[in-house]
Structure 1
């Protein structure tokens, strides 16, 4: 078992959350005067190559602060949180208004709400300050999400940022933390409508060459989250009927990564990490899956900093997997 090396993960994130360039981010322009440099468009989250990576790198830092507040890196995290201010949040909101309803939908929205859930759960004064400051943006994105989900006729079963199940998983954390029953019910209702009746998943389209999420596994973990253990056991047996026999084979073997300096191809390291996260969670219901999870984690864990195209975001997915692994091991020891 690899215990999370919180100090190392924090150093990775601290090294890029305020690194503005290189930068990738869409801006919808109606004239040349609409263009803003990243520091002005996103004064709070302008680093980490793109907006959503900066947001979830901040989530990583709050997890480190919560889990290991004694680390030397914790002071740098506290200083960063103390820099959150109303003017920067207002500028972030203004950019969302200018960019329109589809900007960062749903991946960035979900990560922002997960970040806010982490801030709200913290006892750290700096985190509480940041949560209070960030709440107006969280409120805007919650509203965008609740406007969007009822209009979405079909789930998006993609291996990239627009995956529906992954976003719902993250937002469930916010709904739970804030005890937001209307949001919880909407997430549960849509999840069941979209995924509860799926059976005999072949996973034939996986992996995609630029994927960092497994649509099949994200869906399974979402169902695990919202169903009772008994109901989920029956659902999983119908969804993956040959899971105990090593099927679907496409999901059980770690993927190969051949090019880490290409941002899209580097997604595959993230796929191994996000699969590991899912397999560790599913191993709570089917213990024989732990070995599959371990293999995926091992395939990616030594490549978090091979190239900036991965290092600006992979650590967050490594932490998801490592904490799921630790939770599973602790659970097994207590049984």
Structure 2
């Protein structure tokens, strides 16, 4: 079976899905602390850029996906609509309001680390587009989140290993792309050193808790993908051999079985479609890090294909998945090293 690729038709389909919800204000699930009655405000008032897509972080990574699709297919039939969205939304006054929101003491932990990582991933993608206006306009917001990593990581004694938004390996992995694009060697070093401090001694991962009924990430595989992204190949491969030593036997077996979703109208159960897509992303990236002759490589590639086949048909089955799943499909299909 050949690998799925990001064709122009598929890119337009994903773009149309995202364009249909990034400015859809309701339903909305705010992550917002009210310090007083003055804080009871609408999503658009709180977040004039990222008020759609059900929640702030989903809106951010939908913008990332649109930027990626624009870069990949700048002449597609959706490209002008993406440009128009960015011209209307990624503007100085609206970015300033997003920055102002973060200045409140109650927003110190806002979207940590999932939203932090995705915002930096978006900023990195905008930096790769021909139009530099959007990159320059989002830079102040990206700078705040980059500084939050610098402030928080030295305080974070322990990693968070869950399969949801709080997973710290995911946050490091996404921030790594931003640090690389803007050539911030100090931030790259902090991310790498933190990953080694948190995960460097891990070995023989049992993955016994996967999947839970709320997972959209594999805590085992995203840790491995984090280390792949942050370590040099000569350091990563020995670590990977220790961390998952029985992949040639397809063990831990739970990592090779796509998750079953029983109700896609349930926001938590719909996470499991995301688990299949995010596992596909990780399996594909990890396979690509192995030498061509490594016997594990086709095993990991097969696992990636089976997870993608399980998740891809359900991108728009219900709004509980539609508002975010396409982003993870693009990660899985169009991952870049």
Which bin holds the TM-score, normalised by the shorter protein? over 0.9
Give unpaired runs (5+ residues) of structure 2: 291-295
1:257-300, Cα deviation, whole Å (9 max, x unpaired)? 00111111110000000000000011121412111110000001
- Gap regions ≥5 residues in structure 1: 329-335
Distance in 2 (alpha carbons) for counterparts of 1:11 and 1:101: 34
Distance in 1 of aligned mates of 2:232 and 2:36: 52
Aligned residue in 2 for 1:171: 175
The equivalent position to 2:330 in structure 1, one of 307, 312, 319, is: 319
Alpha-carbon displacement from aligned partner over 1:177-218 (angstroms, at most 9, x marks no partner): 000011011001001111111111101111111000011101
Q: 1:153 and 1:273 mapped to 2: Cα distance? A: 30
Question: How far apart in 1 are the matches of 2:86 and 2:327?
Answer: 18
1:308 paired to 2:319: yes
Distance (Å, rounded) in 2 between the aligned partners of 1:23 and 1:136: 25
Give the alignment of 1:179-218 within 5 angstroms: 179-218=183-222
CA distance in 2, matches of 1:292, 1:27: 38
Q: Check if 1:115 corresponds to 2:126.
A: no
Match of 2:99 in 1: 93
State the partner residue of 2:304: 293
| Selected match of 1:78 from 63, 83, 101 | 83
1:241-320 correspondence to structure 2 within 5 Å:
241-284=245-288, 285=290, 286-288=296-298, 289-320=300-331
TM-score (normalised: structure 2): 0.94
In structure 2, how many angstroms separate the alpha carbons of the residues matched to 1:173 and 1:87? 26
Q: CA deviation at 1:233?
A: 2.1
Instruction: Give 1:2's aligned residue.
Output: 4
Question: Which stretch of the first structure deviates more once superposed, 268-277 or 97-106?
Answer: 97-106
The corresponding residue for 1:239 is 243
Tell me the TM-score normalized by structure 1: 0.94
Partner of 1:332: none
For the 8 Å contact 1:27–1:35, the answer to whether it is kept is: no
Alpha-carbon separation, structure 1, partners of 2:234 and 2:189: 20
Native 8 Å contact 1:65 1:77 kept in 2? yes
For 1:34-85, what per-residue CA distance to the aligned partner results, in whole angstroms no more than 9, with x for missing partners? Answer: 2110111001110100001001000000111100011010000111111122
